[in-house]
Structure 1
Amino acid sequence: MGKEDLNTVLTILGAMVLLIGLSSRWLEKSPVPATVIALLIGILLGPEVLDVIDLTEYGEKSTILEVSARLTLGIGLMGVALRIPKKFPRQNWRQLLVLITGGMLLMWAISTALIYLVLGLPFWLSALIGAILAPTDPIAASPIVTGPVAKKNLPDRLRHTISFESGANDGLSYLFVLLPLLMLTMVRDKALSHWLTTTLLWEVVAATLFGLLLGYVAGKLLQAAEKRNLIQEEWRLVYTVALSLVAVGGGKLIKSDELLIVFAAAAAFVQVVDEGDRGEEEKGQEAVNRFFSYPIFTLLGVAIPWAGWAALGWSGIVLVLLILLLRRPPVLLLLKPFLPALQSKKDALFLGWFGPVAVAAIYYGSMAEHRLQEPLVWDVVSLVIFASVLAHGLSATPLSRLYGKETGYRKKEKKQKRSD
């Protein structure tokens, strides 16, 4: 990889973020989100169109995508936790547990069945791809639950539920991804033993405990530094970003689930730090999130396997449609009686539709392709990601406004303002 080639990529990605930033206020209200624009720019710059960026010239494509997605998720998960009120998990832990565990299992089962029936892939390969597609992505979900349109039209109970679910199930999905991956790469008895001991106990349970401890200690250290007037105000803006990097890097060093560590650390940090003091950290974290999130969608556009998509043919299109319609909406309708946050069928349908597949699937899909050396995994996963980014991204603003209009939430908010 030549220095000039790398500088070209950095220049393009930096310029793209600059342009998106200059038009951010307009894009916030536009039906075309910045993530879709970044994706289309990646397609334009990719080898099949202008051939400006070809990831294979810089190393193994799957490794580049895996590392980029891992860093993006690590930064993004901290931002997700910071915007959730500290009382929300404590007050709603039962329904969150149902949504994260029961919801994930059902979405995994439905996705696996659809892939197995439509594409005719072997069971464990279908289960692997199904697990990769199951979790709700926190990066793609952020524009849906933040910004003026979301705050004006969506109640907090829905916005916080989507945020918490997307943050927690990204790390938890590691457990579901690893089982079929181990079954495909090891002898069955050894795979099950490894999954129950190493994956479950160390990479999930221990990771959660380590993350909680890390976040608790980080929060207490920040409080102690503030009490003794040791930390400058501007350093608070980078403190949580640094905590994200410590969690991501530390998770990798101890060979554990770094995404689960990040979210657990963020959740514990939020519980320690006073809610009134989190405003600046949230703003700083959100700014960094946006800086990292748009380039990963551009890299996705560059890495689209057009030949692999063509080989899937009509089966790929049918699978995408079925995944979008059946993977999540029926699950939320089924679980509605157990989720107090869903006060109506419209709530269930809204939450059921907005479960985007994006950066987390890039991470797990790239990791699986790298370990299996099976391009079909990325072919299927990337096609679903592409469809999800377009479908959920383009529908976020109009459906949020429709929800506000149909439920009367927008109207209630206006009346409350007048009475105040």
Structure 2
Amino acid sequence: MPTLAVNNFNIVVSVLGGWISLFGLVSYLLKENFYLSEALISLLAGLTFSPHAANFVRPLEYAGSEENLNAITLYFTRLVLGVQLVLAGVQLPSRYLRTEWKPLALLLGPIMTAMWLMTSLLVWALIPHLPFLHALVVGACVTPTDPVLSNVIVKGRFADHNVPKDLQTIIIAESGANDGLGYPFLFLALYLIKYIGDGGVNEPGGAGLAIGLWFGETWGYTIILSVIYGAVVGWIAKELLHYCEEHKFVDRESFLVFAFSLALLITGTCGMIGSDDILACFIAGNVFTWDDWFRLATVDDSLQPTIDMLLNVAIFMWYGAVCPWHSFIANDVIPIYRLIPLGILILLLRRLPFILMSYKKITQIDGLRQAIFMGFFGPIGCSAIFYLYVTLEFITMLNPDQGDTPRWDVARLQEDVSVVVWFMVICSVVVHGLSIPLGKFGIYLPRTISRTLSSPEDLISFQVGGRVIPRSRSRDETAANTPTESRSVSLRPVYRIGGSIIPEHPSATRPSPAHLSGASDIIGPRDNLDGGSKSTSTKVESESQWNMSSPILPNRMIRFPDEAPSSDKESRELKGDVAC
């Protein structure tokens, strides 16, 4: 006997599939016409289906505990970042990291360090009773720019029309590389908290041991090892795929999906050895297409954008469902009247001033306007969530003797970093997701109003066959002043495509010559189909000077050139008609 199975799996799959289908039906309209990002729309959808609203998707119930939920979010984010960063590396031109190392070194070195310090200072200044080391942790989480949200300004119609190709490429390269380079900033603060945060009572060694571990474990094992590992795996994968493709060992489907399988391999293996899987994926993707072979072979393929879209929609729906929305108002860290100014100041001062100060040294930025654009669009997204949960995992290990009880000096750090990082992610998704459509609206609305106010109030222009024809707005007044026997016929000539006049039906009541003369003064010169002006006469001419060979069809405003008279009788009926 059939039974209902309204379980968690069926609900999640139904909601996810239904939402992706609905979004797909209007995706072109939303993304290419209204310039709305799929991240913003999916985030709002996740909130709508979450326990905070419809309660269709219940992440905590699926996970069983807060710790399991954090682990699921961390692993899901790692997966999405791994795939996205391999694709980001594949999109770069041949040998890009070697040829453009100077601007990348400036962006990933001094500018990224300045972003970290500025963000940390703002957090330290606006959150009461927050130690500066804790502020450095929060600042490190939101310093990297997100490659997922960066797709809003490097892909699609807006990017094609407004963002130069060189600027798109440098944004992709920076957002891919600085995701993995967030580790040194984060672990410098975490090691200092571990060894000097409580006065060195529980963890002896002091600042010297913290700096030593930072250089050895973070830079040596995490960063340098991941770069070497990603480069080696990417080069081996490129050579193997090239060899198999030349010898016809691989089919087209496996060829196209190879980059995704490479991302999964690197994410899993780096996770097992404890290295930086994010940076390794980006390096592997760039080395994989070092000679541009794979990039050019897949440039017209739609599989990569399709998988990219599915992952973006899924991850931001999950973020909308698991985000602690209530904590923005009810928390012991920072009141909402401080949290909102903090979000605004971080978005304005975290990146923009430093790009403006150094944009003349970055050859891809051409002028002040592009510098402002690149400085403002430094989104905070998946990478911030990744570093947030890495931080929470590190904090739980600071006091292993007492289980899950945190050490006294970091008792508030978990809530501090969670509230601020989640709030900054939401702010960035909303602000950067709405900036382009609002900017477009602000540009076109004044122009539309200006054109409307500057046009004559008694005339409206319309276009037929490449020429503009004004007509009277005051139809009621015209009708009132027109004799009753003439009201059934329009006083305005009707044109075919190509410029010739459509004669009136013989049975219709003809207007007087005075009306025709007045109408002819309004209509301008006639244009032919090729766009050239062949006549400048504005007076009434006889039918012998014009070609009026179309049949009389009722309720037709435009005639096509191939609509010839159906009989000689019909042609004779057209004689005597006038034209302007």
Q: Is the 8 A contact 1:128 1:181 kept in 2?
A: yes
Equivalent residue, structure 2, for 1:408: none
Q: Could you tell me how far apart the structure 1 residues matched to 2:439 and 2:240 are?
A: 43
Moved more, 78-87 or 31-40: 78-87
Residue 69 (str. 1) matches residue 90 (str. 2): no
Listed as ranges, the gaps of 5+ residues in structure 1 are 404-420
CA separation of 1:190/1:3 partners in 2, compared to 1, >3 Å: closer, same or farther?
farther
Equivalent residue, structure 2, for 1:278: 298
Amino acid at match of 1:236: F
Q: Could you tell me how far apart the structure 2 residues matched to 1:171 and 1:140 are?
A: 16
Equivalent residue, structure 2, for 1:331: 354
Q: Could you tell me how far apart the structure 1 residues matched to 2:18 and 2:149 are?
A: 21
Residue 393 (str. 1) matches residue 416 (str. 2): no
Q: Could you tell me how far apart the structure 2 residues matched to 1:141 and 1:338 are?
A: 22
Q: 2:25 aligns with which of 22, 26, 40?
A: 22
Q: Is the 8 A contact 2:38 2:312 kept in 1?
A: no
User: Percent of aligned pairs with the same residue?
Assistant: 29
Equivalent residue, structure 1, for 2:250: 231
> What is the 5 A alignment of 1:327-366?
327-366=350-389
Equivalent residue, structure 2, for 1:119: 127
Amino acid at match of 1:193: G
- CA deviation map 1:233-291 (0-9, x unaligned): 121111000001011111101110000110010010010451432325x6322221111
> What is the 5 A alignment of 1:192-271?
192-271=211-290
Moved more, 12-21 or 162-171: 12-21
Q: Is the 8 A contact 1:95 1:339 kept in 2?
A: yes
What's the TM-score once normalised by structure 1's chain length? 0.91
Equivalent residue, structure 1, for 2:527: none
Q: Could you tell me how far apart the structure 2 residues matched to 1:38 and 1:307 are?
A: 19
Larger RCO, structure (CA 8 Å, separation 6 or more) = 1
- CA deviation map 1:26-68 (0-9, x unaligned): 1222233221111111111222222222322222332121111
Equivalent residue, structure 2, for 1:42: 46
Moved more, 74-83 or 344-353: 74-83
CA separation of 1:153/1:397 partners in 2, compared to 1, >3 Å: closer, same or farther?
farther
Equivalent residue, structure 2, for 1:179: 188
Moved more, 369-378 or 317-326: 369-378
State the Cα RMSD in Å: 2.1
Q: 1:400 Cα deviation (Å)? A: 7.8
Moved more, 286-295 or 10-19: 10-19
Over 4 Å off, 4+ runs = 397-403
Moved more, 54-63 or 325-334: 54-63
Q: Is the 8 A contact 1:43 1:49 kept in 2?
A: yes
Amino acid at match of 2:415: P
Q: 2:102 aligns with which of 94, 99, 102?
A: 94
Moved more, 81-90 or 127-136: 81-90
Q: 1:398 Cα deviation (Å)? A: 5.4
What's the TM-score once normalised by structure 2's chain length? 0.66
CA separation of 1:263/1:14 partners in 2, compared to 1, >3 Å: closer, same or farther?
same
Q: Is the 8 A contact 2:50 2:58 kept in 1?
A: yes
Whichever of the two has the greater Rg, that structure is: 2
Moved more, 268-277 or 359-368: 268-277
Listed as ranges, the gaps of 5+ residues in structure 2 are 196-202, 397-413, 444-580
Equivalent residue, structure 2, for 1:55: 59
Amino acid at match of 1:271: W
Equivalent residue, structure 1, for 2:165: 156
Q: Is the 8 A contact 1:149 1:400 kept in 2?
A: no
Q: Could you tell me how far apart the structure 2 residues matched to 1:24 and 1:85 are?
A: 29
